């Protein structure tokens, strides 16, 4: 069962997804892949990615973030 099932947030997510074209979704997916694979080198990692790994890899490229930023 989804966390947002039956809640307003779930309905909003469905509405927003319906408004985004396949082309934009494809570009966002590719951008996520490039970020995780090329920039952060985490795409093929088998274990779940931790906050520390994300923070460390962002810092390598000069981007500072807190745990609150990642939530």
pTM score > 0.75 for this model? no
Query: What is the rounded CA–CA span in Å between residue 69 and residue 39?
Result: 18
Sequence-distant (≥ 6) Cβ neighbours of residue 12 within 8 angstroms? none
Sequence-distant (≥ 6) Cβ neighbours of residue 21 within 8 angstroms? none
CB neighbourhood size of 69 (10 A): 12
**Could you read off the pLDDT of 16-38 as tens digits, one per residue?**
667 778 888 889 889 988 888 88
3 has a pLDDT exceeding 70:
no
Residue showing tokens 């939530």: 71
The domain spans of the chain are 1-29, 40-71
């Amino acid at each position: 069962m989804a966390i947002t099932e039956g809640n307003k947030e779930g309905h909003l997510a469905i509405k927003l997804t319906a408004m985004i074209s396949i082309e934009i979704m494809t570009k966002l997916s590719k951008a996520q892949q490039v970020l995780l694979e090329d920039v952060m080198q985490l795409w093929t990692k088998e274990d779940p990615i931790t906050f520390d790994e994300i923070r460390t890899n962002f810092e390598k490229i000069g981007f500072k973030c807190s745990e609150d930023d990642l939530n």
